[in-house]
Amino acid sequence: MKYYIIAGEASGDLHGSNLVRELKKLDTSALVRCWGGDKMQEAGGELVKHYRDLAFMGFTEVLVNLRTILRNLKFCKEDILQFKPDALILIDYPGFNLRIAKWAKKQGLFTESGGKLIFYISPQVWAWKENRVKSMKRNIDKMLVILPFEKDYFKNKWNWDVEYVGHPLVEVIERHKSQGPTGRGEEAPIIALLPGSRKQEILKKLPVMLEVTKHFPDHQFTVAQAPGIQDDFYKLFTDRYPNVTIAKNKTYDLLLRAKAALVTSGTATLETALFGVPEIVCYKGSPISYQIAKRVIKVKYISLVNLIMDKPVVKELIQDQLTVENLKKELIELLTNKERIALVQKDYKDLKELLSLGGDASAKAAQSIFSFIS
């Protein structure tokens, strides 16, 4: 069978590559054409567009690159029509993929052929842009979700039966853990600093994180350098701190060794938990952006760990609460309070069980897709 897969970001490329491998195990004659990256290509997909050419974030950047985005949409539609897939699989990347889903439905692309449109990894509509769900339900033949609460959310609020397959990060991290850390071990206990992937958020959070290092001279603090951000940018901040180093392209190795972590909200909070590292979740934006976000985003917690477990497993320091004093106090707790550490580890174990469903999410997703279109 023929599969056309669209992923527009690095995470989508990672999860897409594992999906491609699993599909090829089930369907030895599978032809996969994809938008993604190096990982999907290595897994056996024929790469049409690299996500590097698709990643436009923020209102201004989208506006400046609007002509390129529209050109990409036009080319994508033409390429799908020419390829005639049995399955069109859209991985997250909602701004682009939901437009493709709407077009495919309007086009009647699969009406006669019997093919299917599958969305894998739902947009976070439960947090914001909830109005997207109506068109999603109308245009998508099958929705595969990776967060356990999403199944109930879509069923109870929208009367839409979606399938929960588990989270693909579990298998990715377990694979890395089984290989063990690379490089030499350090003598001092390591605290990981994950200040984010974009300069704007790093500027807000890294200076506060670094000030905390002064209170822990016997610990080594290591900053996880984000892809695409130059070494010099970090050194502007870190050079004044003797017990701080930078790890480039080594985030998972860093988390394998870390005793605790200070983490920017986002997927990194979940990755840190799956590595079993006690963490403090940090968020700070401009006052205006924060006030807008408070009104637009409707969630009880900002970290995926707490959202999934529906309780405060990890401490969240948000906006004005993100101070050196508060970080210092919470970090001392994570390093010395054995009862709290044990409780966190128990919650992490429960979290992993919730996300793994006793098997690999990629294999479950592939099996579901293959059965659905066969």
Reading the chain (374 residues) residue by residue, the pLDDT tens digits are 999 999 988 889 999 999 999 999 999 999 999 999 999 999 999 999 998 776 554 445 555 556 777 888 999 999 999 999 999 999 999 989 999 999 999 988 777 667 799 999 999 999 888 999 999 999 999 999 999 999 999 999 999 999 999 999 999 999 999 987 765 556 789 999 999 888 888 998 999 999 999 999 999 999 999 877 888 999 999 999 999 999 998 999 999 999 999 999 888 999 999 999 999 999 887 666 666 666 666 678 999 999 999 999 999 999 889 999 999 999 999 999 999 999 999 999 999 999 988 679 999 999 999 999 98
Q: Are residues 290 and 252 in the same domain?
A: yes
Q: Are residues 162 and 203 in the same domain?
A: no
The pair phi, psi for residue 370, each rounded to 5°, is -65, -45
Domain-located, residue 172:
no
Residue 12, Cβ density class (10 Å: 0-12 exposed, 13-18 middle, ≥19 buried): buried
Q: Are residues 301 and 365 in the same domain?
A: no
Domain-located, residue 176:
no
The candidate with the shortest Cα–Cα distance to 151, out of 139, 163, 143, is: 163
pLDDT computed for residue 58 by the predictor: 47
- Residue 322 burial (CB count, 10 A): 20
Q: Is the CB of residue 23 less than 8 Å from the CB of residue 5?
A: no
CA 305 to chain centre: 12
Q: Are residues 210 and 153 in the same domain?
A: no
H or E element in which residue 144 lies: strand 142-145
CATH number at residue 280: 3.40.50.2000
Domain-located, residue 171:
no
Domain-located, residue 123:
yes
Q: Are residues 200 and 67 in the same domain?
A: no
**Structural domain count, the chain:** 2
Give dist(CA 126, CA 111) in Å, integer: 30
CA 252 to chain centre: 14
Cα angle 370, 373, 374; round to 5: 75
Give dist(CA 374, CA 372) in Å, integer: 6
Domain-located, residue 214:
yes
**Unique residue bearing structure tokens 């068109």:** 135
Give dist(CA 170, CA 282) in Å, integer: 23
Q: What is the DSSP string of 221-238?
A: EEEEEPTTS-HHHHHHHH
Q: Are residues 255 and 336 in the same domain?
A: yes
Give dist(CA 51, CA 298) in Å, integer: 29
Give dist(CA 16, CA 18) in Å, integer: 5
Range of the structural domain that residue 7 is part of: 2-166+357-373
pLDDT computed for residue 63 by the predictor: 55
CA atoms within 13 A on the CB side of 250: 18
Q: Are residues 344 and 320 in the same domain?
A: yes
**Unique residue bearing structure tokens 């579990």:** 170
Give dist(CA 72, CA 141) in Å, integer: 24
Q: Are residues 190 and 271 in the same domain?
A: yes
pLDDT computed for residue 59 by the predictor: 46
- Per-residue tokens: 367: 């099996």
Domain-located, residue 173:
no
Q: DSSP 3-state assignment of 137?
A: helix
- Residue 33 burial (CB count, 10 A): 18
